[in-house]
Structure 1
Amino acid sequence: MLKPVYRLLIELTNGRWTSGILKKFAQSNLSRLVIPSFSRVYKIKENEMEKKLHEYPTLHEFFIRRLKVGARVTDAGPDSAVSPVDAVIEDIGSIREDRIITVKGKSYSISEMLGENKAGKYSGGTYLIFYLSPSHYHRIHSPVTGKVADQWVLGLKSFPVNKWGLKYGKDTLSKNYRSITEVRHGYAAIAIVKVGAMFVNSIELTHEGDQLEKGKEMAYFTFGSTVILLFEKGKFELDKSIKTPAHIKVGERIGTLM
C-alpha cells in the first residue's frame, strides 16, 4: 500500500523545488516517523545495521546508514576487483573502439561520461553498471586497492537511473551529475563513475588522501543511484559466474585485474 507513495516521492526528487522540499523533510526530525514503514516496505535487513531502527534521528540518517562490522566480507585476492556497492549489476559489456557503450539498447558516449581527455584509454575495455534501489545500503566502497590518479565532477541536474530510466531516459549515464574517481592499481586504471539520481545531487566523498583500500568506504549516495566501473582493454577479466541481472554485495568478487 505504501510502496507506490514512496515510489512517487522518489520520482519527485527529479524536480528542483520538489527535491529541495523532500530533502528538507528527510533531514528533519519529523521524518523519523516514517522510518519504520520505509524499512518495512523496502524489506531492509535491520539485523545488518550499525544501529537500532529507533536510533536514527532522521530518514536521511537512516538512508545513509552504516552496517555492522563484519556484515560484508571483502574478497582477499591481491588482484581481485570487487563490487563497490550492494546493488544489481544491470549491464556488462565492451566499450567500443569509437568510445561508445550500449545499455538497454541505447548508446552512451564515454567521451561525454568521463570528458574527452579521459575517454581514449578505456576504448575496447569493459564496463559494469551497478543499480542501487531504495532498499539497498547506500555507501560506496573501493573496488580495488590503489592510488587516486584523478577526481572530478561533470553534469548538472539528474534524472532517474533505474532500469526504466536507462531504457527511456535521455542520456542519463553521460549527462546526469556524476562524481568520477580514477584509481590506479599497478598498471591498470579503473574509473569509478558515481551517477546522481536526483536534482539535489548528493554524492558525498568520505575517503581522505590519495590511497584507496579495497572494500573500504569512499563515498555515499543520499538517494538510490548508479555506479559504473570502467576497465581498460586487456586489464580486467570478468568472473565467469556473473550473469546479468546479478544481485551482488559490497566486497564480492567481480573479476581479476591483469
Structure 2
Amino acid sequence: MKSYLYKFFIELTNGKWSSYLIMKFAHSKASSLIISSFARVYKINVDEMEKDLTSYNNLHEFFIRKLKNGTRNSFFGQTEVISPVDAIIEDIGIITGNKTIHVKDKVYSISEMLGNKEMVDKYTGGTFIIFYLSPSHYHRIHSPVSGRVIKRWTLGGKSYPVNKWGLKFGKSPLAKNYRTITEVKTQDNQHIAIVKVGAMFINSIILSHQKEEVKKGEEMAYFSFGSTVILLFEKETFRSKDFLSTPYPVKIGEVIGDLSGKSK
C-alpha cells in the first residue's frame, strides 16, 4: 500500500496544484519522517550516500543527495563516453534525415527540442540516447565528456510525465517540457548536446556548473525529482557500447560508448 501511494503521488501525479503541494511537502520538516520508508520502498542503497539517513532535514534534501567519493567509476579513457546519470537507458537510435527521433512509437522533433533549427543540422544522422531517472535514482547529472561549454539555454514552460507511460501517451514531453540544454565541444571538435528535461510542474533543474570548461565525470546539474537526460551526438562521431536491449540500467561513470575522433 505504501509503495502504491509513493508511486501515485510522485511518479504519476502531474497536475499544477498537486505538483506544487508535493514540492511544499518535500521541503517541509515533516517530510523527514518518511525518508527512511521512502528509501526502503525504492530500494535505495544507503551505504553509498554521503550522509546518514537521519542527517537529511527533509525529503528534498534526500532527493538531491550526494554520493561518497569512490562509489562510481572515475577511471576511463580519453575518447570514452560515460553515462551522465544513474538511470535506465530507455532508447538509443539514429536521428533521422528529417531531424526527428523515434521513442516509444512516437516521433519527436529535434528542432523543437533544441529550439534552434540551424544547430540541428549538425546532429542529423547522429546518435541519440535517452536516460530516464526514477525517484529511486541519484539525481545529480555529470558530464559524459570533457570539453568546452559553448552554449547553455533554457526552453519550455510546463512539464509532463517522462516515465514510460508519459513517453508513450504524452504530448511530446521530451521536446516540449521545461528543459535546459548544454552543448559541449571536445578537444577533437566534436559537439555533444546534453538535454535535461523536467518531469513535473515543479521544473526544478539546477545548474551547478557555470565554468567554460567541463571535465568528464564532473557534476553539471541536478534534478529535484525523477526526470530525463538526452544525449545527442553528431553523425559518425559516436560508437555505442553493444547494449543487448533496452531498457538498460546504467550508473554514472559507466562507459556507454566511444568517440570516433572524427571532427567537424
- 2:249 is paired with a residue whose SS is strand
Segment drifting more, 12-21 vs 180-189: 12-21
Give TM-score scaled by structure 1 length.
0.97
Deviations 1:138-186 (A, max 9, x none): 0000000010010101111011001111111111110111100000012
CA offset digits 1:79-130 (Å, max 9, x no partner): 1110000001010000001101000111000000001232111000000000
Q: Give the drift of 1:243.
A: 3.1
The answer as to whether partners of 1:75 and 1:253 remain within 8 angstroms in 2 is no
Match of 1:257 in 2: 259
Cross-structure match for 1:166: 167
Aligned to 2:28: 28
Q: Where do 5+ consecutive residues of structure 1 fail to align?
A: none
- Give the distance between the partners of 2:243 and 2:20, measured in 1 at CA: 42
Bigger CA drift: 13-22 or 166-175?
13-22
For residues 90-105 of structure 1, the aligned pairs below 5 Å read 90-105=90-105
Cα deviation digits, residues 199-254 of structure 1 (max 9, x gap): 01000010131111101111000000000000000111111245311110001001
**CA-CA distance at 1:74 after TM superposition:** 2.7
Aligned length: 258
* CA distance in 2: counterparts of 1:154 and 1:148, whole angstroms: 18
What is the SS of the residue equivalent to 1:22? helix
C-alpha root-mean-square deviation of aligned residues, in Å?
A: 1.1
How many percent of aligned residue pairs carry the same amino acid?
60
Q: 1:12 to 1:242 in 2, by over 3 A?
A: closer
Following superposition, the deviation at residue 11 of structure 1 comes to 4.5
Measure the CA separation in 1 of the matches of 2:75 and 2:160: 33
Tell me the equivalent position of 1:201: 203
Bigger mean CA deviation after superposition, 180-189 or 72-81 = 72-81
Superposition deviation, residue 8 in structure 1: 1.6
Whole-Å separation in 2 of the counterparts to 1:153 and 1:98: 24
Aligned match of 2:246: 244
Question: SS at the partner of 1:166?
Answer: helix
What are structure 2's unaligned runs of at least 5 residues?
none
For residues 22 and 122 of structure 1, what CA distance do their matches in structure 2 show? 37
Q: 1:242–1:180: structure 2 CA closer, same or farther, 3 Å change rule?
A: farther
Match of residue 149 from structure 2: 148
Letter in 2 for 1:180: I
Task: Tell whether the 8 Å contact from 2:11 to 2:135 is kept in structure 1 after alignment.
Answer: no
Q: Distance in 2 between matches of 1:210 and 1:242?
A: 36
